[in-house]
Structure 1
């Protein structure tokens, strides 16, 4: 079964045609690395997938559910199954690491915010939060403020928060872009280890081509709002990945008028 199915997806911002008939499928338990130059439409695609931006044409199915035809209540339940790891962590900086992880359970609780506050959280929630921190190697930092942590440590907290959410799909948008190379590799190792353990599905955008060659099951490349590369990771060539960053790459340039030389999408 596909965890994500995107069919003939189009997205406009006024007259700017950002996504241009995009097709992509990701099977359950698969890790797909998405590459492409700034301005190619990657971030817009990610926003469409997590419901932050409505698309204009085509369809998106998440875990078999049509994203645009769900009631608000069903859409909220579906979003609980999608964990997002951001480039800038999106943590509450002036509260503890433990509290940030507890926030990952917000969508699961009938009483909402109140039951996700550390002073009101149940023993079961508190144990789950500590187990998530233990998994990412930060149990000893549970009571520290997030603002006191390094960038790599903050991204570990963000991953622990996603574990607390019990998501089935992880959308990771440039999760190592703000980290040094050593911390970036550690975060990618941790992220892929965790999702493999739990059988989660991952769509992860990267710019670092050397990392893309080492992680995930498939490499998907975008150029000017279209997918032009879709191959198993072991078969990807560095030249093809580098080509994604050459020539017409942005959606504010004219649409591609010739067939790209990259391996055409097959999924």
Structure 2
């Protein structure tokens, strides 16, 4: 079974045609590295997969369930299977590392926020949170405030929070863009080790082509709202990846919305 099936998906923001008939399938357990210049639609694609932005046309299926046909409660349940690792970590800076990891279980708890607070969480949840922190090498920082951590350490906390979520799919949106090269490689190593251990499916955007050549199973390249490159990592030519960042890479207005077709701001 494929974890993700995307068929002829279109997405507009007003007159801006962002995704243009995009089709992509990702088998369960595969790690796909997604490349493309700013403005090509990568972030919009990820938001559509996660159910945060409804697509206008086509079909997106997560484990063979069509997002556009789900009720809101079922969509929320399905989204719990999709963990997101952000470029800017999205941690609550003024609370402890331990508390941030506990928040990863929020969607699983019928009692809501109260059940994931460190002072009221069950012993089972507390043990899971510590195990997740131990896996990313930060059990000794459990009581520290997130603002006290380095960027690399904060991204490790974000990965631990995703482990706590018990997601089946990981969407990593430029997870190392704000890190130095050494920390970035360490995070990529950790992320890929963890997803391999658990048999998770990964869609990870990167801009660093040298890293794209070293990580993942498959390279997918986007340009102007559609897939233009799809190849096993070992077969990906550097020249083909570089071409994704050359020429007309940005999404523009549709012809009917403007007579001059001026480029708009990147999405």
Residues in 2 aligned to 1:164 and 1:150: alpha-carbon distance in whole angstroms: 21
Residues in 2 aligned to 1:89 and 1:237: alpha-carbon distance in whole angstroms: 31
Aligned to 1:85: 85
Q: Counterparts in 2 of 1:6-17, with a 5 A limit? A: 6-17=6-17
Aligned to 1:148: 148
Residues in 2 aligned to 1:252 and 1:176: alpha-carbon distance in whole angstroms: 28
Offset of residue 13 of structure 1: 1.0
Q: Counterparts in 2 of 1:49-88, with a 5 A limit? A: 49-88=49-88
Structure 1 unaligned blocks of 5 or more: 256-267
Aligned to 2:38: 38
Aligned to 1:223: 223
Offset of residue 248 of structure 1: 1.0
Q: Counterparts in 2 of 1:100-111, with a 5 A limit? A: 100-111=100-111
Residues in 1 aligned to 2:94 and 2:118: alpha-carbon distance in whole angstroms: 14
Structure 1 residue ranges, 4+ long, deviating more than 3 angstroms after superposition: none
Offset of residue 233 of structure 1: 0.1
TM-score (norm 1): 0.94
Secondary structure of the structure 1 residue equivalent to 2:69:
coil
Offset of residue 253 of structure 1: 6.8
> What is the number of equivalent residue pairs in this alignment?
255
Offset of residue 226 of structure 1: 0.9
Q: Is the 8 A contact 2:15 2:254 kept in 1?
A: no
Offset of residue 86 of structure 1: 0.3
What do residues 196-241 of structure 1 show as CA deviations (whole Å, max 9, x unaligned)?
0000000000000001000000000000111000000000011000
Structure 2 unaligned blocks of 5 or more: 256-267
Q: Is the 8 A contact 1:9 1:22 kept in 2?
A: yes
What do residues 99-153 of structure 1 show as CA deviations (whole Å, max 9, x unaligned)?
0000000011110100100000111100000000000000000000001100000
What do residues 230-267 of structure 1 show as CA deviations (whole Å, max 9, x unaligned)?
00000001100000000110002779xxxxxxxxxxxx
TM-score (norm 2): 0.94
Q: Is the 8 A contact 1:41 1:225 kept in 2?
A: yes
Secondary structure of the structure 2 residue equivalent to 1:25:
strand
Aligned to 1:195: 195
Offset of residue 72 of structure 1: 1.3
Residues in 2 aligned to 1:210 and 1:111: alpha-carbon distance in whole angstroms: 45
CA 253–229 in structure 1, closer or farther in 2 if over 3 Å, else same: farther
Residues in 2 aligned to 1:235 and 1:196: alpha-carbon distance in whole angstroms: 21
Q: Is the 8 A contact 2:17 2:254 kept in 1?
A: no
Matched, 1:175 2:167: no
Aligned to 2:264: none
What do residues 79-109 of structure 1 show as CA deviations (whole Å, max 9, x unaligned)?
1100000000000000000000000000111
Q: Counterparts in 2 of 1:126-137, with a 5 A limit? A: 126-137=126-137
Secondary structure of the structure 2 residue equivalent to 1:21:
strand
Aligned to 1:262: none
